[in-house]
Chains A and B, each alone.
Chain A
Amino acid sequence: MRARAPVPRRPGYLRARARTGFLFVSPAIILFGLFLMGPIIGALVLSFTDFNVRAIKNWLSASFIGLNNYRSLIHDPLFWISLRNTFYCVAITVPLTIIISLTVALLLNSKRLKLKSLFRLLYFLPVITTTAAMAVVWRWIFNYRFGLANWLLSLIGIHGPNWLGDPAWAIPAIAAMVIWRGVGFNMVIFLAGLQGIPSHFYEAAAIDGANAWQMFRYITLPLLRPTTFFVTIMTLIGHVQLFEEPFIMTEGGPLNATLSVAMYIYRLGFRFFRLGYASSLAYVLFVIILMITLIRIKVGQSEFGYGES
């Protein structure tokens, strides 16, 4: 077979190829535009209106009110409460999810473990289970009198609280559910990252006399940086949008202790039909997530190590 020499192109060849490329991509772009960008821009427009229940059938009855929705948000105590609840939960769930999933991934990556597939399956199952089914079980686990959680605590002499009925303990209870659900997904990603680290680094380190902790600190962690970066951002973005667990377990109670931002948006938009106001809160959430992500990227760039973050 002859090696191919660069073939002289006739004019317009590249443009024709570009056209073909666009043609192939167009279904995805059209769908993206219609179902993602369209509603996103629509919500932005809505956030400047007073769209309410009367406007559902008669769109024109809504009027533009400029930044009034955003001004009302600042004065809305439930806005601040929902922000506080969401970030309280995120502060617990994000670090713990990442640490636990990394630990599990490290354990599952060890060569000596049997039944790896079984464990991987068990850890990943919560990710794909429906929240409604989990809610039933977790409600029993957290039951004040007859639940598993308080029974386990009583074995070590602690009188467990009314997890879902006490405003002080509701968020930690929800956090436990969120972590349990999120670990599996991140574990799979960490596993992939771990398996991408060439084993000759470890062999070289073993020859140099490094122990397990040193290997972890100086080989695993740095080489895992791209994966960790991805995992932290995805977990942050996901957990700030906390919705399903409070929606199904506590409906925002008790006393609005588990009212997350996403839940408040849902309540405003789909129970009260204040779609204009709900859209403005959605955009505030969007900006917050955007800022968190930008901060994470900046922090990532300031770390020095192998590869860029």
Chain B
Amino acid sequence: MLHKMLPYLILTVTLFTTPMAFSKEPVTITIWAMGEEGLNLEKITPRFEKENPDIKVKVVQIPWNLAYDKLITAVAGGTAPDLAQVGTTWMAAFAAMGALLPLDEFVARSEIVSPDHFFPGSWNTGVVGNVVYGIPWYVDVRVLYYRTDILHAAGFDHPPTSWEELFEVARVLAKKGNYGLALSPHWQEFLPFVWQAGGDVLDETLTRPRVTEPEFIEALEFFVSLFQTGLAPIGETIDLFEAFRTGFYPMFFSGPWMVELISSRLPDIKGRWSIAMMPKKVTRASFVGGSNWAIFSGTRYPEECWRFIEFMVRPDVQVEWYRILRALPAVKAAWQDPFIAEEPMMQVFGAQLEEAVAPPATPAWEEIAQAIMHRVEEAIRGVRSPAEAVQLLDQDIRTILARF
């Protein structure tokens, strides 16, 4: 009896399995995302999966303070994800390790991703050694936050727009037993002054330090003067929110995340604070950071990962991401969307982004940054004069670069 059924059995089985052989199994790409971004990414991935039915996205959320170590461990152990959100200052280290896939070919044949679609400072954070390794996802840029009412009461009708004005405003505000502005020796607070003066840390080849040039020294001297005249605190940490609310720190520099935080935590100073671009010396440069998308070199699905990147940098998706998390879009076209263009604070951020600089993309950056902060702190505390400090910094950087 069975031998009569056998041909039909074989036919049926073949009928059912052949389509499976021809249709593609959906590919799953694993994405690591950090902090708030990781927690919210899955609000947008279903849309990607709908537009790309052959790709499934698995999002793994990692807290920021663990992310660096986890990524390094994964790379060393060969368990890196397909795609990850990588902080701009981390790009050079991972690229130097050979952990990231070069993206130049993808960029060349893509219509959605092209360098001129992004802010220049931001695009450069994804380029290491002239090779593209990361595509900017969102950016963060630092601006001046200030108390409009306190400045007004002191006789200033507009925020400081130059170094001299910054010093003058801080000097007047500091008279009443508080500080003129909050400031620290961190390189993200110091380097903008260097860039505003027209200088930089390294030359274009990223092999020679430029810290003994007059622009750098000028920036350091100005920075130090803010501390040594008592306008900014030396070695004091106060809760910034309380201090801004009471006017103890009437001005400070920070990024876009503070807008939401101040609005929600300090409702009683609503309407009495605002933001402004960095003060001008030669330029009004600021520090640009943010996160890039990078594909790991061990991935089995580079094409699928690239399609995800193209999705995330499409202007309409960038705007949607802004609605979800209020992170500044990296793509310039997204800023034309009325939802963004009509917000006054966003106008300041947008203008600042046109003049924003990223630190040099070298794997030696962590060490160089540490050296900069140490010498700047020495100058602030009067342990060394700025001229002495830059000489030693020059030697520090040369020693560090010699090992690379």
Contacts and interface: CB of A to CB of B under 8 A. Distances in A.
Given A53-B97, A57-B75, A255-B383, A162 B235 contact: yes
A271 interface: yes
Interface in A227-258: 253-256
A179 to B, nearest CB: 23
A298 to B, nearest CB: 40
A273 B93 contact: yes
Contacts of A52: 403
A164 B237 contact: yes
Nearest to B242: A146
B237 A165 contact: yes
Interface stretch (A1-9, A94-102, A137-145): A137-145
Contacts of B46: none
B377 A57 contact: no
B75 A255 contact: no
Contacts of B381: 167, 254-255
A53 B362 CA distance: 12
Nearest to A146: B238
A294 interface: no
A130 interface: no
Nearest to B373: A253
Given A255-B377, A255-B381, A256-B374, A54 B97 contact: yes
With a 10 A CB-CB cut-off, give which of A58, A139, A255, A256 has the most chain B CB atoms: A255
Contact of A57 (B69, B97, B374): B97
B239 to A, nearest CB: 9
B364 to A, nearest CB: 9
A203 interface: no
Contact of A255 (B76, B237, B363, B378): B378
B96 interface: yes
Given A162-B235, A165-B237, A255-B378, A56 B72 contact: yes
With a 10 A CB-CB cut-off, give which of B237, B381, B403 has the most chain A CB atoms: B237
B236 interface: yes
A57 B235 contact: no
24 contacts: A53-B93, A53-B96, A53-B97, A53-B363, A54-B96, A54-B363, A57-B76, A57-B99, A58-B98, A143-B237, A143-B238, A162-B235, A165-B234, A165-B236, A167-B381, A254-B381, A255-B374, A255-B377, A255-B378, A256-B374, A267-B370, A270-B72, A271-B366, A272-B370
- Please provide the 9 A-B residue pairs with the shortest distance between their CB atoms, ordered closest to farther: A165-B235, A57-B97, A56-B97, A57-B98, A56-B76, A272-B367, A271-B366, A53-B363, A53-B96
Interface of B: 69, 72, 75-76, 93, 96-99, 234-238, 363, 366-367, 370, 374, 377-378, 381, 383, 403
